[in-house]
Amino acid sequence: MRCASESFWRMIRFAVTMALVSMCRASEYEYLSWRSEVYNPGGGSYGKPPQCVDIPDDLRLCHNVGYNQMLLPNLLEHETMAEVKQQASSWVPLVNKNCHPGTQVFLCSLFAPVCLDRPIYPCRWLCEAVRDSCTPIMEAYGFPWPEMLTCAKFPQDDVCIAMSHPNTTDRPDPTGVLPVCPPCDNEMKMDTMLEHMCASEFAFKAKIKEVKQENADRKVILQKRKKMLKTGNLKKKDVKKLVLYLKNGADCPCQQLDNLGHQYLIMGRKVDKQYLITGIHKWDKGSKEFKKAMKKLKTHQCPAFATVFK
């Protein structure tokens, strides 16, 4: 790392501390080194000068990140708040999966960067740690780690946003086996259910006839009768012969599939030639949260984004 004079370092440290002091997890952030040049891994240029704006409450990814204002355009070159909201909404489900403690820090440092005189990017090792821990979760939904977040773009020797020392960063399970099946690991909360519904291409009520293991996946064969709640691009002939897959779910626990006597709310999307389960809930009319979600679904307006985790 490059060295700076003690007084200069104190000045920089103070600026960042003041920017992050209100964070409930402020001790998790570190501000590493300094370089005078503006670092721009995307290689693009802003169409208008950056300005400091309030983080709106409906920017769910970052509205509780701990500071109140952000730079716009952001570090992903989104120039309007509408564009920021649209793209950031896709990442809320991943943060809710808690695949790495630094996921929100990493994403918000790009989507809603803290207001400083110069743009500060996340450290490369933080990107790598989040990527390695969260990629298995994303793959369960059929999404790869996006090119716009290629970790090689981010600084490793310069000033950057961190959470803790690289040597103490949580690493993914070396066996590569998920401790849970992400589509099964859903809280019965209205907001979570609506969020997953919006991020799915189709949703329906059905019973499950049989579950088989197929390579690393779990193949879910449905009974014929299905009540469609969200059709997406599914045609009638697709619905009749619909077979779903729990991606990489052969060995992970899924309580919803332990007792096939229930009716289920099943959400999914098509990836290549497979239909993947993105969420599954027991159809539970006794649950207040479930009833609220089903009632609100009739009028709920989903965010206008086409692809989750894009």
- Summarize the confidence of residues 221-242 as an average pLDDT: 89
Q: Which residue has the higher pLDDT, 70 or 7?
A: 70
Residue 125: C-alpha distances to residues 36, 77, 162 (Å): 21, 22, 8
Sequence-distant (6+) residues with CB within 8 A of 149 are 110, 127, 131
Instruction: Measure the CA–CA gap between 39 and 184, rounded to whole angstroms.
Output: 40
Fold of 6-168: Frizzled cysteine-rich domain (1.10.2000)
Cis peptide upstream of residue 172 (ω within 30 degrees of 0): no
What is this structure's pTM? Answer: 0.66
**CATH (residue range 190-296):** 2.40.50.120
Query: Do 190-296 and 6-168 fall under one CATH topology?
Result: no
- Give the number of C-alpha atoms closer than 13 A to the C-alpha of residue 31, restricted to the C-beta side: 20
Q: Which residue has the higher pLDDT, 97 or 61?
A: 61
- Summarize the confidence of residues 130-134 as an average pLDDT: 94
Sequence-distant (6+) residues with CB within 8 A of 115 are 19, 52, 67, 69, 70, 71
Q: Minimum mean pLDDT among 6-10, 36-40, 218-222, 254-258: which range?
A: 6-10
Angle at 202 between CA 196 and CA 203, to 5 degrees: 70
Q: Which residue has the higher pLDDT, 10 or 207?
A: 207
pLDDT in tens, 98-110: 889 999 999 999 9
Helix or strand holding residue 240 (H, E)? helix 236-240
- The rounded Cα 22 to chain-centroid distance in angstroms is 24
Does residue 64 have a pLDDT over 90?
Answer: no
**pLDDT for res 100:** 92
pLDDT in tens, 169-227: 444 444 444 556 888 877 788 888 887 788 788 999 999 999 999 998 999 999 989 99
Tokens at 106, concatenated: 């990493």
pLDDT in tens, 247-294: 888 888 888 888 888 899 999 999 888 899 988 999 998 999 999 999
Do 267 and 244 touch, CB atoms closer than 8 A? no
Tokens at 78, concatenated: 């989104």
Give the chain's mean pLDDT. 78
Does residue 34 have a pLDDT over 70?
Answer: no
Domain residue spans in the chain?
Answer: 6-168, 190-296
